[in-house]
Chain A
Amino acid sequence: NAGVMQNPRHLVRRRGQEARLRCSPMKGHSHVYWYRQLPEEGLKFMVYLQKENIIDESGMPKERFSAEFPKEGPSILRIQQVVRGDSAAYFCASSPVGAEKLFFGSGTQLSVL
């Protein structure tokens, strides 16, 4: 049973470009969470999704950031017009319905030049 898969592992973008981060949850998991981690810091919650539904996006910046979890395919975290401050590690986690613990992917390291 494969774990949470995130790709790409590393992503380099220039300022103003778009970044698309993908996350495939563990088999049987219907909930996906995205977190951002800056160097030497803890994880900051961004968004919580179920299939075709955003449950909680209280941690998402108001502009340029969006997330989706379609009926088919991976969850996508999209950052438009990236800026240097978006450079961070972005982690996806998944869980089954009603579960309390999260299973994390290995993260995508986004570097904005």
Chain B
Amino acid sequence: SQQGEEDPQALSIQEGENATMNCSYKTSINNLQWYRQNSGRGLVHLILIRSNEREKHSGRLRVTLDTSKKSSSLLITASRAADTASYFCATDDGNQGGKLIFGQGTELSVKP
């Protein structure tokens, strides 16, 4: 079964607005990661948050993690047209190292 489930499935905003994407998961985890995928390309790692962390920042990205609700959110502030992409959350399965399990993704469209 799919570990991570993102919502919304698609999000369309204007440049300069903030974009928030949410992810829920089912099992215990060591960390949760967010990846970005431009159309027809491979995924690129954005940020990792550990299970004992609640919030993390990287540039215009802000990630939160609520392990009691098994959910995470990714906030992109002051969005740009170049942020247009699909965003995926990924979790491990509670084991150190090893595979990641990806959600269905949120397709973000930022209009100039």
Contacts and interface: CB of A to CB of B under 8 A. Distances in A.
Interface of A: 4, 31, 33, 35, 41-45, 48, 55-56, 59, 91, 93, 95, 97-107, 109
A106 B42 contact: yes
B9 to A, nearest CB: 9
Given A42-B2, A42-B88, A55 B45 contact: no
B96 interface: yes
Interface residues of B, number: 25
A100 B92 contact: yes
Contacts of A102: 43, 45, 100
B92 to A, nearest CB: 7
Interface of B: 2, 4, 30-31, 33, 35, 40-45, 48, 88, 92, 96-105
B104 A41 contact: yes
Given A44-B102, A97-B97, A100-B48, 10 more contacts: A33-B100, A43-B43, A43-B88, A45-B100, A48-B98, A59-B99, A98-B97, A101-B48, A104-B43, A105-B42
B106 to A, nearest CB: 10
Nearest to A103: B45
B30 to A, nearest CB: 8
A104 B44 contact: yes
**4 shortest interchain CB distances as A-B pairs:** A104-B42, A43-B102, A42-B104, A101-B45
B82 to A, nearest CB: 18
Contacts of B88: 42-43
